[in-house]
Structure 1
Amino acid sequence: MSTTHANAMPRLRIGTRGSPLALAQAHAARDALAAAHPELAEPDAMEIVVIKTTGDSVQDRPLSEIGGKGLFTREIDDAQTAGDIDIAVHSMKDVPTVLEDGLVLEAIMPREDPRDAFISTRYKSFADLPEGAVIGSASLRRASQILSRYPHLKVINFRGNLQTRLRKLDEGVADATMLAMAGLNRLNMAHIATAPMAVDEMLPAVAQGAVGITCRADDTRVREWLRPLDCRDSHIRVAGERAFLARLDGSCRTPIAALAEWTGVGQMRLRGLIVRPDGRDPLGTERTGPVADMAAAMAMGDDAAAELVARAGDALPAYRGEVVHGGGL
């Protein structure tokens, strides 16, 4: 956390989690703001404030058991609403589809690689893993897709930062794990990845690779500062994926994946997937067509999700983790 000359208040206080990745993202936002606004480039004009969230505090249980949405954002949102910070920098895949009252998502920075990375010290891919091999993952979305494609594998809860997960691999706790390529890239650790996974094999989390910045809706000065940081192409893609998630009412208990990509000028392809937590009965769909703005992308995502809701029918609660089946996780 930075300090200010003569105890003067910084012009902008940036809230973030304290993980190495979260701090790297907060520093990237700070540097982009300084580059866009000379008044923010002055010494101590900005301060990075680290806030511990529920998801950071509870490390001994799967995320799906801790509770609802906002596990990595709620305390930061509270600090923002209270005026303790001015903006918050988030990994967008952690951000609930409905923001806290009084907050707005003002900017999405240019999106990084949305793919997942397969990581193992002994195997090159999932196809190389023997029957009964153990995969460590804290993500139901990843776990359900693994179990759907590779039912002969076992998935265990695997939480902690990058260094903790790599240590667990070295200790033989698991044979392989997965992390987001975006995070590895931002930490200059892409070499850790055994191989990036094709999205046809592992569809990413909604908004994976995207960093968003929220602020108070009535703070016009800060909103003006943030506007140059918004990447329209990334924002539109994320809006489509989040609309897909919103219709499905996704939470940490819901294995949902989606990815929107530009296939040409003004042309978008959106793929979406839901899977039961135990890997059974995957339901996928896709949409392609012209998308001119966020409203059109959101309509595409909502329509794709509506199809899956209809196809799941009475079984939809099972996809949301509300019905417990034997086996799997």
Structure 2
Amino acid sequence: MTLRLGTRRSTLATTQSTWVADRLRDLGHEVELVEITTEGDRDRTTPLASMGGTGVFVSALREALREGTVDLAVHSLKDLPTTPEADLVVAAIPTREDPRDALVARDGLTLGELPAGSTVGTGSPRRRAQLEALGLGLELRELRGNVGTRLGKVADGELDAVVLAHAGLRRIGRADVVTEVLDPIQMLPAPGQGALAVEVRADDTATRDAVAALDDADTRACVVAERAVLAELEAGCSAPIGALAEIVLGDEGDELSLRAVVANIDGEGDVRRSAAGSPADADAVGRRLARLLLEDGAADLAPLTSSPTVHTERSGA
């Protein structure tokens, strides 16, 4: 049986999907890539928050799964809505790439070396809020388009710098353009950033079993905790929220360490808190941290709604 793997057409999406396909081929499966065009791919100018968040990159792939056009789909995990789908399941979360954000700036400059007034492009409210909070006097510009388009705006002098996901640049072999990998102390990444989600139909046990071999338990625990923060906060698509979990060695073995931030989009304040617990209790650790953020005023800083949605991040960027 040939597994039909649905992928978006962008270079990054195809690279990610090919990586998954190659891992499955190594396990003895035949895999065919099937290209799917999403609304987010067709419209590269409208801000993602206005389009309903990065769910615009997910819906067409999910439709193809449900119709039986494909057997599995590969998503950047940060694109997936936190609300589960009854008929679909994330059968594997492979080992994560570097979750941090990266700066690509003219003349090899780091963030601290950019002069006040420098133009920095980002399409992410989360990145914008945390950059504003640093008080560096940067001029932030709305940014859309694929990775190549974004990098081109620095190369041609339209922007002084852009901020992208380090994972995406590494995956497409462009890590050489990075002038600084941003420390999470300055810039907490999006929940799930750097991780892939391999989604299948819940009733397709054969594909579920095939894909399950790619799952990495530590990566899954980390992203479950991060996404639990987002879900418990019931964050709207324009809420600037970052979260990062890591598996560390504690007094009694492996421990999940989780940090999160809820920030004001104008950089006028943020709430940063941390929590820890067992990797087996990842969801509970994330929800406990989210409640702590709420107790300490997160709802006064960012738009938190009654309906969990997706985080506004461009796929893989």
- TM-score scaled by length of structure 2: 0.91
- Pair 1:221–1:21, CA change in 2 (3 A): same
Greater mean deviation of Cα atoms: 242-251 or 71-80 = 242-251
Pair 1:182-2:167 in alignment:
yes
- Pair 1:188–1:319, CA change in 2 (3 A): same
User: How far did 1:118 drift?
Assistant: 0.9
For 1:273, the equivalent position in structure 2 comes to: 261
5+ residue gaps, structure 1, are: 1-9, 321-329
- Taking the aligned partners of 1:118 and 1:145, their CA distance within structure 2 comes to 13
Contact 1:77 1:100 in 2 (8 A): no
Pair 1:26-2:31 in alignment:
no
Pair 1:121-2:106 in alignment:
yes
- Taking the aligned partners of 1:52 and 1:313, their CA distance within structure 2 comes to 36
- Taking the aligned partners of 1:185 and 1:69, their CA distance within structure 2 comes to 21
**Which of residues 156, 171, 181 is equivalent to 1:196?**
181
SS in 1 for 2:238: coil
For 1:288, the equivalent position in structure 2 comes to: 276
- Taking the aligned partners of 1:51 and 1:316, their CA distance within structure 2 comes to 37
Letter in 1 for 2:49: S
**Which of residues 234, 237, 248 is equivalent to 2:219?**
234
- Pair 1:216–1:166, CA change in 2 (3 A): same
**Which of residues 70, 75, 93 is equivalent to 1:108?**
93
Contact 2:236 2:304 in 1 (8 A): no
- Taking the aligned partners of 1:161 and 1:317, their CA distance within structure 2 comes to 27
SS in 2 for 1:70: helix
For 2:290, the equivalent position in structure 1 comes to: 305
Letter in 2 for 1:239: V
SS in 2 for 1:253: coil
User: How far did 1:69 drift?
Assistant: 5.4
For 2:7, the equivalent position in structure 1 comes to: 16
- Pair 1:292–1:315, CA change in 2 (3 A): closer
Letter in 2 for 1:91: S
SS in 2 for 1:131: coil
For 1:158, the equivalent position in structure 2 comes to: 143
- Taking the aligned partners of 1:137 and 1:68, their CA distance within structure 2 comes to 14
- Pair 1:267–1:314, CA change in 2 (3 A): closer
5+ residue gaps, structure 2, are: 306-317
- Pair 1:204–1:292, CA change in 2 (3 A): closer
User: How far did 1:26 drift?
Assistant: 0.6
**Which of residues 206, 210, 215 is equivalent to 1:221?**
206
- Pair 1:65–1:259, CA change in 2 (3 A): same
Contact 1:59 1:160 in 2 (8 A): yes
User: How far did 1:11 drift?
Assistant: 2.1
- Pair 1:24–1:314, CA change in 2 (3 A): closer
Identity of aligned residues (%): 38
- Pair 1:80–1:197, CA change in 2 (3 A): same
CA deviations on 1:197-242 (whole Å, 9 max, x unpaired) are 1111111111111011010000011111011110111111111111
Pair 1:138-2:138 in alignment:
no
Letter in 1 for 2:123: A
Greater mean deviation of Cα atoms: 108-117 or 170-179 = 170-179
Letter in 1 for 2:105: S
Letter in 2 for 1:175: D
- Taking the aligned partners of 1:316 and 1:104, their CA distance within structure 2 comes to 33
User: How far did 1:15 drift?
Assistant: 0.7
CA deviations on 1:121-160 (whole Å, 9 max, x unpaired) are 2352221122221110111111110011125211111111
- Taking the aligned partners of 2:53 and 2:130, their CA distance within structure 1 comes to 21
Moved over 6 A (4+): none
Letter in 1 for 2:215: D
**Which of residues 87, 98, 114 is equivalent to 2:83?**
98
Structure with the bigger RCO (C-alpha within 8 Å, sep 6+) is 2
Letter in 1 for 2:134: R
SS in 1 for 2:107: coil
Instruction: State the Cα RMSD in Å.
Output: 1.7
Higher Rg of the two aligned structures:
1
Q: How does 1:79-90 map to 2 (within 5 A)?
A: 79-90=64-75
- TM-score scaled by length of structure 1: 0.87
Letter in 1 for 2:26: A
User: How far did 1:165 drift?
Assistant: 1.4
User: How far did 1:244 drift?
Assistant: 0.7
Contact 1:131 1:152 in 2 (8 A): yes
CA deviations on 1:3-35 (whole Å, 9 max, x unpaired) are xxxxxxx62110111111111111111111111
- Taking the aligned partners of 1:158 and 1:215, their CA distance within structure 2 comes to 32
CA deviations on 1:285-304 (whole Å, 9 max, x unpaired) are 00123x142xx011000010
Q: How many residues are paired up?
A: 302
Letter in 2 for 1:229: L
Contact 1:103 1:214 in 2 (8 A): yes
